[in-house]
Amino acid sequence: MKWLGYPIYRLLLAYVIGLLIAMYLQITIDIALIVLSTSFLILCFSIFFSRTNTVFKALFSFSVIFFLIALGVLNMVSKRPINQSHHFSNHTIHGKEQMITFQLTDQLNPNAYNDRFYAHINEIDGKNVTGKVLVLFKKSDSVEYKIGHRLTVYDDISQASDERNPGDFNYKEYLALIDVHGQIYVDDDHILNVYVGENKSWIIALRNQLMNSLETSGLQDKPLGIIQALILGQRNNVESSVTQSFRDAGVIHILALSGLHVGIILLILCWFTNWLKVVKNGRWLQSAVIIILLWIFALITGMSPSIMRAVTMFSFIAIGMNVNRKTSIFHSLALSAFLLLLINPKLLFHVGFQLSYTAVIAIVLIQPILYNLIQPRWKVIDYFWKIGTVTIAAQIGVAPLSLFYFHQFPGLFLLGNMLLLPVLPLIIGLSILLLASLWSGIPSYWLVEILNLSLDWIVTIIEKISSQDQFIIKGIHLDLIELILIYILMISSALFFYRSVRKSRRERVLIKEPGYNLHIAIISIICFTGFQSFKKLKTVDSKVVVMHQASGSVISISNREEVLLLVDYHAMDSIRSMAALDRIKSSSLHRNKIITIDSLSNKVKFNDTEVVVLDESGVILKSAETPILLLSHSPKIHLDKIITALRPQIIIADGSNYRTYVNRWRLTSEKRNIEFLSTYEEGAINLYRLEAHKQN
């Protein structure tokens, strides 16, 4: 495809390379500025001579690429908090309570214990600062805060948990990617002042008015939550059971306001504004009207990152649709991605950004291949065939990413999407009509009844689909190298077949000579197979690991093929202990191995080393040698006497202990010159490595 040689793709690739370099290499902002300045000077110098000299033409091309790489590096590096003098992280002291003033900006779905918000920090100890944090309020405090409230608290800003066990979700890293660099657990008695001012933004006032209108319209709880999620981007009122059912059925993207909904709204707006094409410059006028309405919609929904990304992407697509060029859609995608990454370079590493663009590219590239394989003559069948091929193409595109990040794949995704996607434009259209009717005061009881009935039916169907657990494929893990090889295979295969499949009654497939795309696909298959074999053949050392587990203790003993998990979950109820055990099993230490589970005793021995476990019972087992002492479930002990009695070589405190106890034990161990480790700070602790270190 010759259009892949357009400059925008090379420039975007160079800029992305710069972002990757800055993300994974420790480059200072001074070096980034020097490199950017140098590349800019070379670029300016080569411009003057590139028209007359072939060498300078090559230098010009090289300098443009080099400049884009340097720009990507600088843009990413400049976003680091350490390079922002007014960022709050440069004015906080770890573990120290300070006077903090912040304003709530976004409300998240609550968890079992806390109501959660994102907030902008305004002041720390009277100093004006910037930055974003996660704020958590205890549900037991029974306080109701809303977006826009400004609070002053006397508290500390802590860090979110990182990857405590191998393969765990790194919440700290996730928050950093969305520029959230800390969290505040707010106790009610630490709140000094709450300012509830009138919100002067007409957008937020309009959104609140629409939310209140929906709540008093007569909609039932489940339809109300779904409509608020579909149209206003507010998922807080969607019941957790409904969310889980949509996730298990493979249609969670229906509830997450993103590119799918913006694309449907774009088509609705195109249909309503088609009459503009008859006037002079009507196509450009139509594009302008659509883009303005899309951005108003984005503002009303709160301008979340997913909506901003989707509206930007479809704004360029709206222009491309009216250019009447086959390749405009790809150019629009590249331009929108370039613009978004210039504004926020961290978007490249957001899962939502990757899924959105992958899905759209797959639809544009793979859907025509699938659709042209069959040519239905009946319009109804053709309509459903189009929806089916769009769904399959999108799922093909996002499946590797889904497996890489979420390790599961809904087997009934096609059934769920085939049932929902045909009626989704109607649901969105009726919901928009309901909002317009409520806002203008027009009677809308008939719309409420239709939406209650249809959405109840949809939820019931989705719950039936999600209950088929045997069709949910779980526990699939891909390495980054495997992910890259899969996408190389998919893209090269799609490019090979893109011109081969023809919409013709005589000939469905046009046979082509093998080209470089086919050769790349074959090479990627060979490399993928070789990498799989390498993973199976590589030597895996035996490991004895103390895992991090809140309210529990786990020791993992593993070799190449088997794992023995010694667990103590007596402080948990059955539901929580099952969830905790599933999380431990999913650790990268235990994948593709036979797992055996046993209870954790007070003494564990491996090689010539003993681990003595001291729990809340306070019972101490004597050891014939200097053991490793594992403190579990916050035992009330005099550690100094324990050290004298057992003479441990190392003391370990796992996640079942209170942090205050851990801090006190650390001080005692330091006084007695005993090495002290905590899974709160160290994460999972490999005892074999400790043993080898001691021997050396």
Please tell me which residue, 231 or 325, carries the higher pLDDT value.
231
Q: Name, of 104-108, 283-287, 653-657, the range with top average pLDDT.
A: 653-657
Q: What is the dihedral of CA 531, 536, 537, 542, to 10 degrees?
A: 130
pLDDT > 70 fraction of the chain, expressed in percent and rounded: 90
Q: Calculate mean pLDDT across residues 7-19.
A: 90
Q: What's the pLDDT at 1?
A: 47
Q: What's the pLDDT at 398?
A: 86
- Asked if the model's pLDDT at residue 383 lies above 80, the reply is no
The Cα 197–Cα 207 span in angstroms is: 17
In terms of C-beta density within 10 A (0-12 exposed, 13-18 middle, 19 or more buried), how is residue 56 classed? middle
Alpha carbon 465 to its chain's center: 25
**155 bridge partner residues:** 98
pLDDT > 90 fraction of the chain, expressed in percent and rounded: 17
The Cα 540–Cα 88 span in angstroms is: 44
In 3D space, the residue among 41, 51, 95 whose CA is nearest the CA of residue 680 turns out to be 95
Q: Supply the DSSP string of 222-284, one letter for each residue.
A: HHHHHHHHHHH---TTS-HHHHHHHHHTT-GGGTS-SHHHHHHHHHHHHHHTGGGGGSTTHHH
- Asked if the model's pLDDT at residue 81 lies above 50, the reply is yes
Whole-Å CA distances, 70 to 31, 46, 453, 488: 10, 17, 56, 26
Q: Calculate mean pLDDT across residues 629-648.
A: 89
Q: What's the pLDDT at 499?
A: 64
Quote the tokens at residue 270: 């195109």
Q: Calculate mean pLDDT across residues 600-618.
A: 85
Q: What's the pLDDT at 669?
A: 92
Helix, strand, coil in percent for the chain, rounding step 5: 55, 15, 30
Q: What's the pLDDT at 484?
A: 92
Quote the tokens at residue 186: 């707010």
Q: Calculate mean pLDDT across residues 195-214.
A: 72
Q: What's the pLDDT at 518?
A: 81
Residues 6 or more apart whose Cβ sits within 8 Å of residue 571: 551, 552, 633, 656
- Asked if the model's pLDDT at residue 615 lies above 50, the reply is yes
Residue 690: enclosing H or E segment and its boundaries? helix 687-695
* 8 Å CB contact between 227 and 451: yes
pLDDT digits (tens, 9 = 90+) for 418-469: 777 778 888 888 888 888 888 787 877 888 898 889 888 888 888 888 777 7
Please tell me which residue, 501 or 399, carries the higher pLDDT value.
399
Of the pLDDT bands very low, low, confident and very high (cuts 50, 70, 90), residue 566 is very high
pLDDT digits (tens, 9 = 90+) for 646-695: 888 899 999 999 988 998 999 999 999 999 999 988 889 988 766 555 55
pTM to 2 decimal places: 0.79
Q: Is 218 left (phi over 0), alpha (psi -120 to 50) or beta?
A: left
Q: Calculate mean pLDDT across residues 79-100.
A: 86
pLDDT digits (tens, 9 = 90+) for 486-516: 999 998 888 887 766 554 445 455 555 566 7
Which amino acid is it at 511?
Answer: I
pLDDT digits (tens, 9 = 90+) for 572-600: 888 888 888 888 888 888 887 889 999 99
Cβ count within 10 A of residue 564: 15
Q: What's the pLDDT at 130?
A: 92
**Pick from 304-313, 410-419, 551-560: least confident:** 410-419
Owner of token pair 């690429």: 65
